[in-house]
Amino acid sequence: MLSVQKIEKYSKEFETKTPQEILEWAADRFSPYIAMSSSFQTQSMPLLHMATRIIPDLPILFLDTGYHFWETHMFREQLASHWQLNVLDVYRNTRWDEFARERTRSLPVEDPNLCCYIHKVEPMQRALRDMKAWISGIRRDQTATRAKAKILELQEDGLLKVNPLLNWTK
């Protein structure tokens, strides 16, 4: 386990490193207890390609919220086959099924925080339960909150979030 001081030290050092160097560091320290999330959108492709070349059997977590376009699912399947990806579909807890079905169209508008919790937050927490590190594709130029992010972030549950593309821009 890395101390908070070590994480901060590495995070500062990684400001001048390439995403591949950061990914290699993470793979060396955390495999096989490392995963990556991907939405299979255009912005996800560079990191997905880099990470799976460095960690070929890397679990790729796809949050299947039930709100994706059919084309997203088809693209994910084609890419997973072509790149030999280890894609794991992550779904909401079944205890929410009836509630979510009744409010499929209204929930995102009426209570976006609950919608996000049911379809993204809780399923991702569950999927990452046995992991020590999680690779994320966030960039500082995306939002004000992400502008303050660090390349390595220790989360409250002890999971290390690795953001190798943080310094990239659109």
Q: Mean per-residue pLDDT for 87-99?
A: 92
Residue 170 CA to residue 162 CA, distance in Å, equals 19
Residue 49 CA to residue 53 CA, distance in Å, equals 6
Which tens digit of pLDDT belongs to each residue from 5-63?
A: 999 999 999 999 999 999 999 999 999 999 999 999 888 899 999 999 999 999 999 99
Give the pLDDT confidence score for residue 25 in this predicted structure: 98
User: Are 25 and 118 in contact, with CB atoms under 8 Å apart?
Assistant: no
Flag whether pLDDT at 1 surpasses 80: no
Give the pLDDT confidence score for residue 135 in this predicted structure: 97
Q: Three-state SS across the chain? A: CCCHHHHHHHHHHHHHCCHHHHHHHHHHHHCCCEEEECCCCHHHHHHHHHHHHHCCCCEEEEECCCCCCHHHHHHHHHHHHHHCCEEEEECCCHHHHHHHHHCCCCHHHHCHHHHHHHHHHHHHHHHCCCCCEEECCCCCCCCHHHHCCCCEEECCCCCEEECCCCCCCC
Give the pLDDT confidence score for residue 65 in this predicted structure: 86
Which pLDDT band, with edges at 50, 70 and 90, does 103 fall under?
Answer: confident
Give the pLDDT confidence score for residue 66 in this predicted structure: 83
Task: Give, in degrees to the nearest 5, the angle at Cα 119 between 113 and 125.
Answer: 95
Give the pLDDT confidence score for residue 133 in this predicted structure: 98
Give the pLDDT confidence score for residue 10 in this predicted structure: 97
Give the pLDDT confidence score for residue 124 in this predicted structure: 94
Spacing of C-alpha 12 from chain mean position: 21
Give the pLDDT confidence score for residue 165 in this predicted structure: 95
Residue 94 CA to residue 124 CA, distance in Å, equals 14
Give the pLDDT confidence score for residue 167 in this predicted structure: 93
Which tokens in the block code for residue 129?
A: 């339960």
SS3 88: strand
Which tens digit of pLDDT belongs to each residue from 104-140?
A: 888 888 988 999 999 999 999 999 999 999 999 999 9
Give the pLDDT confidence score for residue 44 in this predicted structure: 85
